[in-house]
Copies of this chain bind each other. A is one copy, B any other.
């Protein structure tokens, strides 16, 4: 029952399930899965009919030039992942290895993969990191950067599939690969529900399996303030949901390190001036005290008091020390003007200073905040509202588009010379029946009218996991494989749009993530994983 949506995506026949599986009119069988399909799809891939066998107990990954802690740890991880592949339910029908095809040569044993890293390791991932790599499954990785090596190892691990007798198989394949966009992110909201550190680690694992490289940590919001500040410990002491629902400085450092060694940047968001109710539990002085019919309530931050800016400045100085990435997200979305409008002092201030609208009041606020960020050599990211009235933000500011007509917004922001991120298509809290990754997959961030120069300002995008109705119990299932669709759109060449082919690779990729401990939900309908 309820199979209307499936009717359009069913692929006929399923070698993997059983060769004799009957095929009838209504409904179709399960979706085929690829065997050793790579997600996201590499830029250039060529396979032959040859293949290699791997004895997982006698297989090594060897740095032949530069190495470092990041590479050493990656080798340990991927050896383990490759070994676990013997348990995968996705494998070639064993008839293939008999050499019946004319182009098939006897399989050779692949005993090691050599990693040629041509430059010393960088210490931390960054916007301009080089993720290019060359991979030959005959045993070679070449990359000019540790980050490319990480992506290559992920790709290699995905090409490996089970064979007979606890052996593994990898088709002879040559890959040259690099991402289309440098910023491929996932936003995780840890305020509306507290997400434990262990689950954050598993989210980062899943990101690495999808070559996502930015963890946008929407760490605080109205509902709770779990970040334990060194300067202002009262923020979490009073503003967290519960005493144990916090991220200590060690927790934050652990998350950043876990991400770093996987080539994932961590960009924190401290959203101002709205979405700050939890700040007001310990620091009511920085919020607006509403009047009139809102008497007794607190609204967005008070934009006319110096104490507000001093507080933000001090907190952001700490944040910029704690989070090593050059970028910091300062929010600026969804500021409700009712409370500002009720405040006598704010309305008087606006009259006195000839500020004609609350939007302009907000513009002034965001200008001051972004200036205090840039003064520290950091670069701000803001939500679109912060820039709608204010396209003359500090140069370098990145704007993130999340609602409304994204084509118009991307045109407008890039026309003004700003760099931009797409999120409008990729709100993971928007649910639909069935496997709803197709709409994410179809969204193309460059599909707006604009010059080549404008398109170059699109840095990529982010899938957003707002946490109204996700907790530790279901957040991994909601994120994967739905964010995988955005991950391929952001990594693979623009022409990668064959939905049926992608569907079959994603079917395998879900099985793969499951095998690796990520409880990704089914992508396509009935299936064996």
Binding site for B on A (CB under 8 A): 1-3, 6, 17-18, 20-27, 29-30, 89, 191-194, 222-224, 238, 241-242, 245, 274, 277-278, 280-281, 284, 287, 290, 294, 296-299, 333-334, 336, 338-339, 402-403, 427, 429-435, 464, 466-471, 473-474, 477, 514, 519-523, 525-529
Contact = CB atoms under 8 A, between A and B. Distances in A.
Contact of A294 (B25, B434, B473): B25
A298 B193 CA distance: 49
A24 B297 contact: yes
Nearest to A338: B25
A278 B17 CA distance: 12
A384 to B, nearest CB: 11
Contacts of A30: 223, 241
A18 B6 CA distance: 46
Contacts of A224: 526
24 contacts: A1-B333, A1-B403, A1-B427, A2-B427, A18-B281, A24-B222, A24-B280, A24-B297, A24-B339, A25-B294, A26-B339, A27-B222, A30-B241, A192-B525, A193-B526, A241-B528, A245-B528, A430-B433, A431-B432, A469-B522, A471-B522, A471-B529, A473-B514, A474-B474
A18 B402 CA distance: 32
B519 A473 contact: yes
Contact of A281 (B22, B521, B522): B22
Contacts of A89: 242
A468 B25 CA distance: 18
A528 B430 contact: no
Contacts of A238: 18, 20
Contacts of A284: 22
Contacts of A23: 296-298
Given A242-B528, A469-B522, A526-B467, A297 B474 contact: no
Nearest to A471: B522
Q: Which of A299, A333, A427, A526 has the most CB of B within 10 A?
A: A526
Contacts of A22: 277-278, 280-281, 284, 287, 298
Nearest to A23: B297
A428 B30 CA distance: 21
Contacts of A429: 2, 433
Given A2-B466, A238-B20, A241-B17, A25 B339 contact: yes
Given A471-B521, A474-B522, 6 more contacts: A25-B339, A29-B277, A241-B528, A434-B469, A473-B520, A474-B474
Contacts of A277: 22, 24, 29
A290 B25 contact: yes
Nearest to A241: B528
Nearest to A5: B468
A20 B238 CA distance: 8
A281 B24 CA distance: 11
A238 B339 CA distance: 67
B297 A25 contact: yes
Contacts of A29: 222-223, 277
B519 A468 contact: no
Contacts of A525: 192, 468-469
B469 A336 contact: no
A144 B244 CA distance: 45
A25 B341 CA distance: 12
A193 B527 contact: yes
B1 A464 contact: yes
A195 B25 CA distance: 26
Given A17-B241, A22-B298, A298-B22, A468 B338 contact: no
A435 B192 CA distance: 14
Contacts of A432: 431
Contacts of A191: 526
